[in-house]
Amino acid sequence: MKTACLLLAEGFEEVEALTQADYLRRAGIHVTIAGIAGRKIKGSHGIAVEADAGPEALEDSYDAIILPGGMPGARNLAESPAVRNLINRHYTKGKLIAAICAAPAVVLHGGCNLLQGKKFTGYPGTEESVQGARFIPDRVVIDGNIITSRGPGTAGEFAVAIIAALENKQKADEVAQHALLK
């Protein structure tokens, strides 16, 4: 069974986080929702979530690391040495790194410097802070083992792209069809 770690920090974007957990679990992927500072986390719109695990989950290995956006959630992820270590450790092993909304610019570029020479997308305007990478205004952009997406309205497509990368296109299409994305 494939595994993914969905990282949550105070101020995360609820739709971008919970859609990933839901869709990936529908695909049979084991998702660990990890609160980087504890198991109870409040999203950017005041919705409180109890994570499966706390910061101890950042020591484990996964097939994918998933980073929702939202502010100040993305900034809180980027400022965490444990989060940066987890992302960089997985990236160098060729594991999937998936980021949406502000997370590509704030976490992948600002925190980890992983977008150099890469194509990416993100929330409109965040691309202005990214130097040395190529912004593509598509809803989902894949470049090697990095998947990026625009924002809350693209959360379903983002999840389907992650499923296709971890499992296969058939499983991704099945989840998309059941969720009425197709």
Q: What is the mean pLDDT of the chain?
A: 97
What's the angle, vertex CA 125, arms to CA 121 and CA 130, rounded to 5?
A: 60
Pair type for strands 40-42 and 48-50: antiparallel
Distance of CA 120 to the CA centre of its chain: 13
| Position 32 pLDDT exceeds 90 | yes
Per DSSP, the three-state class of 109 is: helix
Residue pair 100/154 in contact by the 8 Å Cβ criterion: yes
pLDDT of residue 98: 98
Can you tell me the mean pLDDT for 87-105? 98
- Predicted confidence at residue 112, as pLDDT, reads 98
Which of 34, 67, 101, 155 is catalytic? The answer is: 101
pLDDT at 182: 80
Band of residue 95 on the pLDDT scale cut at 50, 70, 90: very high
Rounded average pLDDT over 17-27: 98
| pLDDT recorded at residue 99 | 98
Q: How many residues does the chain have?
A: 182
The ranges assigned to domains in the chain are 3-178
Hey, which residues does 148 pair with through a beta bridge?
99, 141
* Fold held by 3-178: Rossmann fold (3.40.50)
112 catalytic, yes or no? no
Residue with tokens 């998933």: 66
Q: Angle at which helices 155-166 and 14-26 pack, to 10 degrees?
A: 40
**79 closest CA partner among 4, 10, 148, 150:** 10
The two tokens of residue 77 are 């992820």
Angle at 131 between CA 96 and CA 133, to 5 degrees: 45
pLDDT digits (tens, 9 = 90+) for 42-80: 999 999 999 999 999 999 999 999 999 999 999 999 999
Is 6:31 a contact under the CB 8 Å cutoff?
yes
| pLDDT tens digits for range 111-159 | 999 999 999 999 999 999 999 999 999 999 999 999 999 999 999 999 9
Give percent of the chain with pLDDT exceeding 90. Answer: 99
Q: What is the pLDDT of residue 12?
A: 98
Instruction: Name beta bridge partners: 152.
Output: none
